[in-house]
Amino acid sequence: MTDSKAPATELDAIVIGAGFGGIYQLYTLRERLGLNARAFDKAAGVGGTWYWNRYPGAMSDTESFVYRYSFDKDLLQDWEWDTRYLNQPAILAYLDAVVDRYGLREHIRLNTEVTELEWDEATGTWTATAGGERFRARYVVSALGLLSATNVPAIPGLDTFAGTVAHTGAWPEGLRLDGKRVGLIGTGSTGTQVVCAASKVAAHLTVFQRSAQYSVPSGNGPVTPEHVRAVKARYDQIWEQVRGSVVAFGFEESTVPAMSVPEEERKRVFQRAWDHGNGFYFMFGTFSDIATDQAANDAAADFIRGKIREIVSDPETARKLTPTDLYAKRPLCNWDYYEAFNRDNVELVSIKENPITEVTPEGVMTADGVLHKIDVLVLATGFDAVDGNYLRMSIRGRNGQTIRQHWHDGPTSYLGITTAGFPNLFMILGPNGPFTNLPPSIETQVDFITDLIRTARARGAGTVEPSAAAEDGWTATCREIAGYTLFPKAESWIFGANIPGKPNTVMFYMAGLGAYRGVLQDVARQGYTGFQLR
Ligand code: FAD
Ligand code: NA7
């Protein structure tokens, strides 16, 4: 229980979350602004996503060389990697080392959930309730994670299951699938990774698939020390390219429309990308318009469908695995996803055709009356993305307005960073931030927030807040840009369509990191247009 009479601990700034975002923000507030800042995380360790997602097969699908911080050239030179992609233990080890390298650990309170944030008009400060204690600070930076609030489906009988139920985003330490009968619900980015890993170790794996997925090879494998040295020698150019690019994945996006080349050439380009590996490369590096033009999208989708037919031996399994809708969810890549279904221990159940009726103590019952007996039920059912963690807290801004009230029709922001009525609350990866490889976008936002706080302090302004008009304008901009793409037409977390009852709305700025950085630079150069510094 919170002791409301005990005086709140005074801080200059509170950071909520100790993942990529929170760690870097804590660093800049302390080191660059000299503020007494403290971070809180409900997890027992730092790392955010990479603390929680310990499921077998968990890894980044951004390549190792750009799934990291770029703010410190020495850090870039000092850290090694030996595979094209980083697995969860490698990313967690990296983030742990970063925390120690910059002396941040003593300023991070773990096992401490921030449950309430309340704005006090009289003092111009926020009071946070964290772990039952109160903390007061002028600034709050929320780095709550955009894929962090787990989505647990309401399946009848789930709580009666006698075995282990594990959501991938809250994976119990030490839970292994070796030799077990495993049921897996969900075949998104996470579920497909679980399939690849679990198929090799489980006694039996039953995959309950709601939507078939387009997955391309990741091309993962070892990289040589010479390769790593060569990357390090080019890091200045690499980051310059990343920061000016659209998806920030470390490759040049194509400028060639798919239909501008003959069919044979198109297939050659797709085949080259298939052999090269990486999901974002396949969608954005092959042709310029796969995510925006129906014909281009069909061509890419047809190519992948053809691959599924080639790879999967059983025609009925291949049929079920073949998507018929748009190729417009977050693009996936895996080492051997479709191949896994050729293994004798892997079974596919299309729950669109044969729905799950209930979970019993022994396993999962489907509409055809079959009880799929299992030991472990893995829920790879994704996240209440972007605003999920905000709505799980009590956040009260000016005039007692809650964030839930403010975001009644869906989450909004100015620049993905601030929202009207919630002064001095800065969001990392808030709604309508960039849709990219995330560390470079996180760094962009943290740097902007840090400069904005510095400017406010230099001007003697107690509060920083966007105008409602600026927020409306940014929301309209994000809607307009998303409208040029095919993404809103596919049902996924990107637009909130994966959560029953959640308003289906635009939640990302889809013009890319280069354009986003341009907007932020202009806003700053023009004296922080759209913000009120008072
Ligand atoms: P997070 O890492 O999610 O950290 C948020 C932290 O806030 C968590 O530790 C959480 O415990 C804490 N928190 C939340 N609410 C509270 C509260 N009320 N009180 C206290 N603490 C709180 N992105 C890519 O760019 N490339 C990839 O390849 C990629 N792969 C991914 C794979 C998986 C399985 C997942 C789930 C995500 C992936 N992402 C990827 C997205 C990934 O989340 C980001 O890249 C990045 O790690 C986000 O960092 P963050 O600090 O913003 O948030
Ligand atoms: P996703 O991409 O949201 O995938 C979740 C999967 O779970 C997807 O296949 C869903 O089917 C399925 N799902 C969700 N709810 C249910 C219910 N109620 N019943 C059956 N199946 C369900 O989450 P991920 O964790 O894979 O990936 C999220 C991001 O994290 C990813 O893009 C990376 O950036 C890391 P659907 O497709 O909705 O029919």
Instruction: Give the model's pLDDT for residue 202.
Output: 98
> What residues are paired with 176 via a beta bridge?
none
Considering the domain architecture, whether residues 99 and 237 belong to the same structural domain is answered as no
Distance from C-alpha of 27 to C-alpha of 46, rounded to nearest angstrom: 14
Residue 37 has pLDDT above 70, yes or no: yes
Instruction: Kindly state whether residues 359 and 370 are assigned to the same domain.
Output: yes
206 and 280 co-located in one domain: no
Beta strands in 255-306, from DSSP E residues, in sequence order: none
190 close to ligand 2 (CB < 6 Angstrom): yes
Task: Determine if ligand 2 sits within 6 Å of the CB of residue 350.
Answer: no
pLDDT the model gives residue 6: 82
Residue 2 has pLDDT above 90, yes or no: no
Q: Is residue 254 part of a domain?
A: yes
* Mean pLDDT, rounded, for 507-534: 98
Mean predicted confidence (pLDDT) in 23-29: 99
Domain containing residue 116:
9-149+385-533
Atom of ligand 1 nearest to the CA of 429: 52
What total of structural domains would you count in the chain?
3
Domain holding 174: CATH number?
3.50.50.60
Q: How confident is the model at residue 130 (pLDDT cuts 50, 70, 90)?
A: very high
129 and 178, same structural domain? Answer: no
pLDDT at 4: 62
Structural domain includes residue 220: no
Share of the chain above pLDDT 90, in %: 98
The closest of 264, 275, 344, 284 to 307, measured between CA atoms, is: 275
Q: Is residue 191 within 6 Å of ligand 2 at its C-beta?
A: yes
Query: Max alpha carbon distance in the chain (Å)?
Result: 74
For residues 70-97, give the mean pLDDT. Answer: 98
Does residue 175 share a domain with residue 66? Answer: no
Name 45's Cβ contacts closer than 8 Å, sequence gap at least 6: 51, 92, 96, 110
pLDDT for residue 1: 53
pLDDT number for residue 3: 61
Helices 20-27 and 438-458: angle between axes, nearest 10 degrees: 30
Asked whether residue 322 is domain-assigned, the answer is: no
Domain assignment present for residue 208? The answer is yes
In a domain, 460, yes or no: yes
Ligand 2, atom nearest to 498 Cα:
38
| Residues 164-212: tens digit of each pLDDT | 999 999 999 999 999 999 999 999 999 999 999 999 999 999 999 999 9
For residue 3, being part of any structural domain is answered with no
Q: What is the mean pLDDT of residues 341-349?
A: 98
- Atom of ligand 1 minimally distant from the CA of 115: 18
> Mean pLDDT, to the nearest integer, of 362-381?
98
pLDDT at 131 (0 to 100): 94
**Which pLDDT band holds residue 503 (cuts at 50, 70, 90)?**
confident
Q: What per-residue string of b and e applies to 21-40 under the rule 16 or more CB within 10 Å gives b?
A: bbbbbbbbbbeebebebbbb
The answer as to whether 320 is a domain residue is no
